[in-house]
Structure 1
Amino acid sequence: MRSSKAEAEDRDVVIGEDERCPGFQGLKFDWGGGSTSKGKGRTKTFHPPIETHWDLHSAAGKKSNSSPIKSLLSLPLTKFRKSKSLTMILDGARDPKDKQSVESFRQMLLQEGLLPPKHDDYHTLLRFLRMRDFDISKSKEMFQNYLQWRKEFRVDMLPKEFNFTEYDEVKKCYPHGYHGVDKYGRPMYIERIGMVDLNKMGQVTTFERFIKHHVSEQEKTLKVRYPACSLAAKRHVATTTSILDVNGVGMSNFSKPARYLFMEIQKIDSCYYPETLNQLFIINAGSGFRMLWKAVKTFLDERTVAKIKVLGSNYLSVLLEAIEPSNLPTFLGGNCTCSDYGGCLMSDRGPWKNPEVLEMIQVVNLREEIEGKCDDGDVALEDSSMPKKVDKQNKDDNNSMSLLEEAACVGSNSTCSCRLALQKIDCLEAALGDIKNKIKTLEDALQETKMALERTFTA
């Protein structure tokens, strides 16, 4: 039986107080329409995973020995970009009912002047509709709040204005990061909450800077990680599988700084990046955490809580149902150490690190940006979420960057500028073709070496 003191501690947990914490700037939280407290008493619909209608059903059951990236690179990019398979991978096979709802929502926003071209995106609109159970009025309010937040937070300017120089130091006192993919191909995100030391973290960074880092990572996931995972898995990927290791976490860990950080990140993820969580595995949950969980989950959206599995120390069999051992770090019971990168949570390992995939995403995004805006005389092409440089052996990085930068800096109002920009993209496509040739050369050399070795051993 629990003591009255423990019960009182449960009642005393208050999240989101306006207090200042040593080492951090205190932050105020205005939940507005995103507060879950207003939703109590309402029954929400739990929609199936957002990728449900985005599988490549025609490819089901078929296995290929060739690399999906290699097979895609074998096509001329101009044809590859417009191919049906690429459209299905990057855009998804859209459900007719969803498509109709999204179009109605889109037309309403356009008529009211509430849909900037940059955010006129099917997947973005669908996420907000799903989060509000396809209620157009509530989705509109949520979408407006999202646009206003992006403006006030200067999200699009973060790559230019924000440099998280304390990245390595923060990782030491707050172990977290992306690592590999699950069996579906979704990116995996891992946090070791039991090892977090917020006092040390407060000495190397601030809440404001850490939250900006979090937003930058969310932007990279949407614009780089998901497309890269989609190309690698040959099916549309739009959500993340997360693992939260809470070994040793209890009520004492839920300090004022911890509450601030939890609430702000929860608000950002729920209100501004809705429907991006596939599943969250909370592992090593002891009695102390389970007590804490009762308090924490009351502040989470019902739809989010439905995606969370709280597991004890015997979690491995459940994780292995969704994740291959090769994509699990050894500290979670898997086989990976990422010894060359200083550990798994420092590696950012995944398809988004593949240079050829990054080149492909850059070329497709730039060309579509140009072709979509030339008619309007606006060719502002820079994609702030994309890496500005791709480290790749046997490639002239400086030459590649000059093409990208020139394409991004093309003038804004002339047909000539559009043509020039397209010429730059054509040059980049040619560079991608060179990659294909180099891959073929390496394969031929490998085959010759293999044959020479076979002759040596048979002799």
Structure 2
Amino acid sequence: MGIITEDMIKQFQKMLDDIDGSLKMTFENMHQGYPGENLCRFLKARDGNISKAQKMLLDCLDWRIQNEIDDILAKPIIPADLYRAVRDSQLVGMSGYTKEGLPVVAVGVGLSTYDKASIHYYIQSHIQMNEYRDRVILPTATKKYGRHINTCVKILDMTGLKLSALNQIKILTAISTIDDLNYPEKTDTYYIVNAPYIFSACWKVVRPLLQERTRKKIQVLQGCGRDELLKIMDYASLPHFCRREGSGSSRHSRTEKDDNCFSLDNTYHQQLYDFVKRQAELKDRVAPVKQGSFHVDFPEPAPDDAKIAETIQSEFQRLGDQSKLSKSLSNLDINGH
């Protein structure tokens, strides 16, 4: 990918001068006072091709309007017990900031089950965290650190990853597609920790399929990654599953509730949920908020993403077949054959 220049951004901006008011309004909600930097994200996502970046952005703005994304932070998942069930099965949280001020987002890939609610609740929850990050967390970090901050780092915990994760491919692909198309270039680096054999075997097959831009962002760390991560963040910002080798399950780590960044009792999730409830109360409503998921359209994945998902499925299947064969041979040995 070539360097994104100021002239490219200005040319892109000029192409957007004639869009209608509703598109401009939702774009303002996206850029939070930094239009040029946000145009740069879409240019990067399309390798500097201005016409492709323009189409991507316009498609994103249409998606936001059609799915009422600007209002999604005023649409709580209720009742609270349902939201707690979503949080317990979709392990995502924020543990702190890097030394440069980038939010540290933790994702419990291996132990997320996505089995306590419909796919629509998980999509809604994911988009709400994206919007809260972009409209609240990043602007607050920008003000605190005195420079524009518009990306985060993600630490992906593979603890507990099993072949049964194959059942989650659909929802994970949907979430990934939404992020790729509508929240491009929002993650500076992905750190993968606590990777079991099943991940390592699958990674060897999937890595060559990724775009170079994506490959450069992914770092697979040894063990829990503590020592490497402490180079870019303080100990207090480490997710609980990175704090010591052999820390055990990222879901049931023996830490205080606030230390477990996945827990609904964690400060980040409490602030997010309170924010959504306040926005719902402030919004003029004819009728009270009713229980029910907020359905968001999620597009078909791009051909490259679909190929990656298919590769993961086939690799998991191969590993599963190997495991069955190994067990069969082991049984034969035990029985003396």
TM above 0.5: yes
Contact 1:194 1:247 in 2 (8 A): yes
Distance 1:206-1:302 versus aligned 2 partners, 3 A rule: farther
Which residue in the other structure is 1:194 paired with? 110
Q: How does 1:149-160 map to 2 (within 5 A)?
A: 149-160=63-74
1:174 aligns with 2:85: no
Contact 1:187 1:240 in 2 (8 A): yes
1:272 aligns with 2:152: no
Distance 1:331 1:235 in 2: 30
Distance 1:99 1:219 in 2: 27
Q: TM-score if structure 2 supplies the norm length?
A: 0.68
SS at match of 1:195: coil
C-alpha displacement of 1:98 = 3.9
C-alpha displacement of 1:241 = 0.8
The aligned amino acid for 1:345 is F
Distance 1:115 1:156 in 2: 11
Contact 1:109 1:115 in 2 (8 A): no
Distance 1:129 1:114 in 2: 22
Which residue in the other structure is 1:291 paired with? 201
Distance 1:294 1:153 in 2: 37
C-alpha displacement of 1:342 = 7.3
Distance 1:342-1:317 versus aligned 2 partners, 3 A rule: closer
- CA deviation vs aligned residue, 1:358-377 (integer Å, no higher than 9, x gap): 9xxxxxxxxxxxxxxxxxxx
Distance 2:224 2:173 in 1: 29
Larger radius of gyration: 1
SS at match of 1:255: helix
Distance 1:296-1:213 versus aligned 2 partners, 3 A rule: farther
**1:110 aligned to 3, 8, 17, which one?**
17
C-alpha displacement of 1:116 = 2.7
Distance 2:208 2:175 in 1: 16
C-alpha displacement of 1:298 = 5.8
C-alpha displacement of 1:311 = 2.0
SS at match of 1:178: strand
1:255 aligns with 2:166: yes
C-alpha displacement of 1:338 = 7.5
Distance 1:320-1:311 versus aligned 2 partners, 3 A rule: same
Distance 1:348 1:223 in 2: 20
User: How many residues align structurally?
Assistant: 265
Distance 1:237 1:294 in 2: 33
SS at match of 1:345: coil
Which residue in the other structure is 2:51 paired with? 137
Distance 1:405 1:259 in 2: 36
Distance 1:233 1:162 in 2: 30
Which residue in the other structure is 1:237 paired with? 149
Q: How does 1:293-372 map to 2 (within 5 A)?
A: 293-297=203-207, 300-313=210-223, 315-333=225-243, 339=256, 341=258, 343-346=260-263, 349=267
Distance 1:161-1:386 versus aligned 2 partners, 3 A rule: closer
C-alpha displacement of 1:389 = 4.5
- CA deviation vs aligned residue, 1:283-309 (integer Å, no higher than 9, x gap): 111321112224444664432221010
Distance 2:90 2:22 in 1: 37
Which residue in the other structure is 2:131 paired with? 219
Distance 1:232-1:307 versus aligned 2 partners, 3 A rule: same
Contact 2:138 2:150 in 1 (8 A): yes
Question: Unmatched 5+ residue regions in structure 1?
Answer: 1-43, 48-96, 359-384, 391-400, 407-459
Contact 1:178 1:348 in 2 (8 A): no
C-alpha displacement of 1:388 = 6.7
The aligned amino acid for 2:10 is E
Distance 2:145 2:172 in 1: 32
C-alpha displacement of 1:211 = 0.6
Q: TM-score if structure 1 supplies the norm length?
A: 0.51
The aligned amino acid for 1:208 is H
RMSD: 3.4
SS at match of 1:122: helix
Q: How does 1:15-54 map to 2 (within 5 A)?
A: 44-45=1-2
Distance 1:160-1:176 versus aligned 2 partners, 3 A rule: closer
SS at match of 1:221: helix
Contact 1:241 1:279 in 2 (8 A): yes
Distance 1:240 1:319 in 2: 14
Distance 1:263-1:100 versus aligned 2 partners, 3 A rule: same
Which residue in the other structure is 2:287 paired with? none
Distance 2:224 2:202 in 1: 20
Question: Unmatched 5+ residue regions in structure 2?
Answer: 29-34, 248-252, 285-337
- CA deviation vs aligned residue, 1:52-100 (integer Å, no higher than 9, x gap): xxxxxxxxxxxxxxxxxxxxxxxxxxxxxxxxxxxxxxxxxxxxx7433
Distance 1:228 1:134 in 2: 29
The aligned amino acid for 1:239 is T
Distance 2:36 2:84 in 1: 36
C-alpha displacement of 1:148 = 2.2
Distance 1:143 1:101 in 2: 15
Distance 1:333 1:305 in 2: 26
